[in-house]
Amino acid sequence: SELANKCLQSSTIDNELAASYIKELKKYMEFETTLAYLKAPPANYHYPPVDILDGLDKLAYKAATGGFQSQYTLDLALAALLTSAHEGHLAARYCTSVTILYERPVQFISVSTDGIKLPEIYVLSDFVSATKDASKVVSINEQDASEFIEQEALWQASDPDSSYNSMFWSSGRTPGSGYILHSMYLIILTALSSPIGSFTNPGVNFYPGPWTNITFGNGTTVPIKNHAMIPGTWSAHIIDGESFTDYFCIAAAQPVPTETTTSISSATPTSNGTSSPQPTENDAPEVPSVFPYAAVVRDPSNQVAGYFINGTAYKQTGVLWVGAFSPSGRIDPLVAALSFQETVAKFFDAMLAANKTKLIIDMSGNRGGNTLLPTDLFKRLFPHIEAYGASRIRVPVAGDIFGQTLAAIPDELIDPTQEEIETLEFGDKGKLFTSVFQYRSHMTTDLKNFTRWSDLYPPNVQNGDNFTLNYRGPLNNTFYTRSISGINVYGYEHNPATFPQPFLTENIVILTDGICASSCSIFTELMTRNANVKIIVVGGRPRNGPMQAIGGTKGTLATPYTSIAFTADLVLNYTDYIPSHLIETANATFPGLVPLPLGFPSDLGSYSVNGQDNIAREEDGEGHVPLQFVFEPADCRIFYNGETVLEENKLWEYVWDVAWGKGR
């Protein structure tokens, strides 16, 4: 690992190119919805303020004045800035970030000896081989062990307790759960959401030092040599820091311009682009099951599975494990979404046929995915309850031009034919209609249509920033739902509910480990705010007190830079509808007109912002504050004990005891 770090530190930097790179990044960052609240958060928010745009300006200035000694140090500084937002949708693919990854060859668990005392840290292999005699870890590199973990967990994009949990091995998380923005990101996201834990795989660019010294309660200290990994193939031409930077950062950006390198003066109408899910590999192999026990029914790509608990006291109980709202592996997203719907329906049928009356929904490690499946699952549980969920977007200057232009495009260029709806071959129409800057695809919070862009965007000024009004999606509109994910949501006009509520509200409980983000947060908010379902959270920092069940991003839309650039390109294809007085402004502010000066053009899909906030009802008391900045404690918090930390089915039994039995 030490040699690998020296290699990264030797990477040369073109500071002028780096400064222009950061300036281009800023055009995309303007679409991040949480900027104003990160800069001036509520008083009870758990992290200090951070001004992302000002931070980018300072990094650009430092680069322009030759302040960075290597490309790696720039990437580290940029990573530190974005990580300080603790917003899981705010992500970047720095050009040195996946060239070398680090590993500590040891896995930790956090365990309370009796489930009540504060948890302590153990080495997983020690605990498995000698549970009662295993010696706890008291310090790491001569620092208190839990303090060390908490400090390093600050590099995680979630709240303090779920970040702490993510550092440890867990039986309930599955490799690859959640959305994958780019294939090169797979190994990183797998480390973050897999059983292994982020202490073992520290993540992008984080150098853990050459050794990790672990001191145990019995007085022994064990030095662990850290490793470095190369997750890919390097060119034989890489022989020093200069050739390293040239290959991964500079030359990579030069050969082929992106499809959005245009301007208003040169743009001509085209009909390329599609909004429907496109096949990847329909014959992808089935992903192995997460758990060693047989499922009643399981989605082949490990999105969701159903289990029955066999113990006598638990015989009326089923467990719906929802590892993700998107598939593991290279699977057609439409096929995956339909499989999710089918698996859930089959499991509920199986539960009712077997007279199972209690349901545990295990959301452990769920980092999101398809944004409509959470509502689909909610409506299968509560077909008679309105699935209220409101969102809004930040509107920068470029976003306002997007909105005005899309509004000016006539209906006849957007409305689909019946054949297009049936085949999902929408062409530009799907993108023109489903863009978050398209007023036609949003409804008011009381489900009335907006009639113009200025109705949606007056603007709505909150916390010193410009937003749209709160809006909801038209889930009865099959053009909308099929454009987004190819499915019709259960419980709505084109997929009406056919069964009554399958389980009593008091017989449903949700379990999370705090590692619940994005679409997972959509589902959990629907269940708790609309149906008053109780939620139990497990783990967290070694201290008593409440813990959030949703510790990851509560934003409702991860927006890759490719999506923003595509919207810019789409708008430019309809130049005649751009207000003439805004053409010069558009050329200056639109992201995507210039390729990012560093990294591969394809990397654009690995950068993202949070494109949409989740906003509670006014009567819920949060006002206009995004739920990302609202502390929402679970109804009950438990710790892992010696059994539940190793076997998820033992955790399910413990949750049953707490929810319906005599457990704590």
Report pLDDT digits (tens) over 498-533: 999 999 999 999 999 999 999 999 999 999 999 999
At residue 542, φ and ψ (nearest 5 deg) are -75, 70
pLDDT over 90 percentage in the chain: 70
| 447 is a domain residue | no
Task: Give yes or no for residue 253 having a pLDDT over 80.
Answer: no
Q: What pLDDT does residue 288 have?
A: 55
Tokens of 412: 């006849």
| 540 is a domain residue | yes
pLDDT over 70 percentage in the chain: 89
Which CATH number belongs to the domain containing residue 342 in this structure? 3.90.226
Q: What pLDDT does residue 127 have?
A: 93
- With a CB cutoff of 8 Å and minimum separation 6, the contacts of 315 are 308, 309
Left if phi > 0, otherwise alpha if psi is -120 to 50, otherwise beta: which for 59? alpha
Q: How far is CA 575 from CA 46, 563, 570, 594, in A?
A: 45, 19, 9, 18
CA gyration radius for the chain? 25
| 236 is a domain residue | no
Spatial distance between the Cα atoms of 390 and 336, rounded to a whole number of angstroms: 26
Closest by CA position to 614, among listed 522, 490, 517: 522
At residue 525, φ and ψ (nearest 5 deg) are -65, -40
Task: Give yes or no for residue 266 having a pLDDT over 70.
Answer: no
| 184 is a domain residue | no
Contact 391, 554 (CB under 8 A): no
Q: Give the residue numbers spanning the domain of 335.
A: 113-174+207-231+290-382+502-554+630-664
The neighbour count for residue 239, using CB atoms within 10 Å, is 9
Spatial distance between the Cα atoms of 263 and 272, rounded to a whole number of angstroms: 17
Counting the structural domains of the chain, the total is: 1
Contact 70, 6 (CB under 8 A): no
| 485 is a domain residue | no
| 321 is a domain residue | yes
| 593 is a domain residue | no
| 567 is a domain residue | no
Report pLDDT digits (tens) over 16-75: 999 999 999 999 999 999 999 999 999 999 999 999 999 999 999 999 999 999 999 999
Contact 416, 431 (CB under 8 A): no
Tokens of 373: 């499946």
Alpha-carbon torsion, ordered 333, 337, 338, 341, to 10 deg: 170
Helix axes 397-408, 561-572, angle to 10 degrees: 50
- Please give the sequence-ordered ranges of beta strands (E in DSSP) within 53-206, or none if there are none: 101-103, 108-111, 120-123, 137-140, 143-144
Q: What is the DSSP string of 205-256?
A: T----SEEEEEETTS-EEEEE-EEE--S---TT--SHHHHHIIIIIGGGSSS
Report pLDDT digits (tens) over 132-168: 789 999 999 999 999 999 999 998 888 999 999 999 9
Q: What pLDDT does residue 321 have?
A: 95
